[in-house]
A and B are shown apart, each in its own frame.
Chain A
Amino acid sequence: GQQVMQIPQYQHVQEGEDFTTYCNSSTTLSNIQWYKQRPGGHPVFLIQLVKSGEVKKQKRLTFQFGEAKKNSSLHITATQTTDVGTYFCAGRGSSNTGKLIFGQGTTLQVKP
């Protein structure tokens, strides 16, 4: 079945450093979504990417969708302590089932 792998599992950075998490799917995706979950919280939708090679920016966050629509990345420039949390990618397969499969998540810690 469809699998979505995400690396790294954990990342500790100094405030001001950059951060990147990568997501790879075993199958071609129709779209990929990114969520952030703060400690003790629930996942909050950040963005959806649909087109091959798509790049979207939200302030310090840059999201990319690979040309083959099988991989994606989230890059945060100049991290802040408010960026702490777990970032999940979630891919939707090309079939009509509509299932969203979550990656394992990358937990970001930011040292002030």
Chain B
Amino acid sequence: DTEVTQTPKHLVMGMTNKKSLKCEQHMGHRAMYWYKQKAKKPPELMFVYSYEKLSINESVPSRFSPECPNSSLLNLHLHALQPEDSALYLCASSQYRSPIGYTFGSGTRLTVV
């Protein structure tokens, strides 16, 4: 299995909703990442987990809450989002400091209404 699977693929949520994005990989990668990508912009790093511990939080607002239940799963809990949070949310994984790059999932396209 050489894929990163993200669910759901599309999500529409209201500003008072609570939802979660899920990411799964079975490549034995010990580093997992959340990126946010706006249209025609590069991916922007949000969080990094190394060996299931949060190692980098890029000053992301607390309405985004990451969780790494085990080495294969990564969640992003969403609460009280704003319309400007609408974007493509990408999960990625890699071997820690690996030369083979990141494997990205196909993303969740989030619309906040």
A residues in contact (CB < 8 Å) with B: 31, 33, 35, 41-48, 50, 88, 97-105, 107
B residues in contact (CB < 8 Å) with A: 31, 40-45, 48, 50, 55-56, 90, 96-97, 99-107
The residue among A31, A45, A46 with the most chain B CB atoms within 10 A of its own CB is A45
Q: Which of A42, A45, A102 contacts B106 (CB 8 A)?
A: A42
**Chain A min CB distance to B54 (Å):** 13
Q: Chain B residues near A88 (CB, 8 Å)? A: 42-43
Given A99-B45, A100-B45, A50 and B102 touching (CB < 8 A)? Answer: no
- Give the distance in Å from the alpha carbon of A102 to the alpha carbon of B43 in the complex: 7
Asked if residues A105 and B107 are in contact (CB atoms below 8 Å), the reply is no
Q: Chain B residues near A46 (CB, 8 Å)? A: 101
